[in-house]
A = this chain, B = another copy of it.
Amino acid sequence: MSAATSQRFIRSYGFDEIALVPSEITLDPEIVDISTTVAGIKLEIPIIGSAMDSVVSPKSAALMGKYGAAGVLNLEGVQTRYEEPEAILKEIASVSKSDYVTLMQRLYLEPVKEDLIVKRIKEIKASGAPVMVSATPVRATKYNEIAADSGADVFLVQSTVVSTQHRSANGAEPLDLAALCKSSKIPVMVGNSATKSVTMALLETGVQAVFVGIGPGAACTTRGVLGIGVPMASSVADAVEARDEFKLATGRYVPVIADGGIVNSGDICKALACGADAVMIGSPLARSEEAPGLGFHWGMATPNAVLPRGARVEVGTVASMKTILLGPSDSDDGSKNFAGAIRTCMATVGAENIQALHHTQVILAPSLRTEGKVYQQIQGLGMYK
Contact = CB atoms under 8 A, between A and B. Distances in A.
Contacts of A362: 8-9
B370 A229 contact: yes
Nearest to A5: B237
A223 B370 contact: yes
A215 B368 CA distance: 12
A243 to B, nearest CB: 12
A127 interface: no
B332 A16 contact: no
A279 to B, nearest CB: 12
A183 interface: no
Nearest to A226: B345
A337 B230 contact: no
Nearest to A352: B167
Interface of A: 1-2, 5, 8-31, 101-102, 105, 160-170, 194-195, 197-198, 201, 214-234, 237-238, 240-241, 261, 263-270, 273, 287, 302, 305-311, 313-316, 318, 327-334, 337, 340-341, 344-345, 348-350, 352, 361-365, 367-373, 375-377, 379, 381-385
28 contacts: A1-B234, A1-B238, A2-B241, A9-B13, A11-B363, A12-B363, A12-B367, A14-B368, A14-B370, A16-B369, A26-B161, A26-B163, A28-B168, A31-B169, A160-B348, A195-B361, A216-B369, A222-B372, A226-B341, A226-B344, A226-B345, A227-B267, A307-B328, A308-B330, A309-B332, A311-B332, A316-B385, A377-B381
